[in-house]
Amino acid sequence: MHSTPPGHMVELLLIEDDPDDVWETQQTLNEAKITNNLHVATDGEEALAFLRHEGKYSEAPRPDLILLDLNLPKRDGRELLADLGKDPSFGGIPVVVLTTSQAEADILQARDLNCHSYITKPIRVEHFLMLVRSLDEFWISITRQTATPPR
């Protein structure tokens, strides 16, 4: 992706409590041939511990991308999006909501909470590739803009 050198593994954090959806996401990543380290958190509290490097996650990498289910135990995806938006140390990590919900209220709320994309499950390889490409293009253009010295 944007900040990783060629051949470098993309660090993905999948926040998902359904083992079947975790497996499906892994298969989609494999089909899309995205070189990645997929880390999985099964609820919102575990995800925060991962992102904050707490406990067993003290050596966790900073993810290049977060894939987030909205309906999670303990702390749901909406609460987690709100937490991420309040903490500037998480700024710059794109968050993609992956959910079964097609409700307009959920889509609007996720957008208001600054998710970068909203995809309904099941994930199709073509949609995931389009997402990754668009994120690459977005971050490459941002990098070019910020790398250009002022005149």
Task: Tell me the pLDDT tens digit for each residue of 6-60.
Answer: 455 788 999 999 998 888 888 887 777 777 889 999 999 999 999 999 999 999 9
Other C-beta atoms closer than 10 Å to the C-beta of 115 total 23
Q: How many domains does the chain have?
A: 1
In a domain, residue 110? The reply is yes
Which of residues 118 and 74 earns the better pLDDT score?
74
Say if 32 falls within a structural domain: yes
pTM, 2 dp: 0.78
In a domain, 111, yes or no: yes
User: Locate tokens 């707490």: which residue?
Assistant: 54
Quick check: is 4 in a domain?
A: no
Residue in the block written with tokens 């209220």: 105
Residue closest to 67 by CA, chosen among 7, 112, 24, 6 = 24
Does any domain span residue 96?
yes
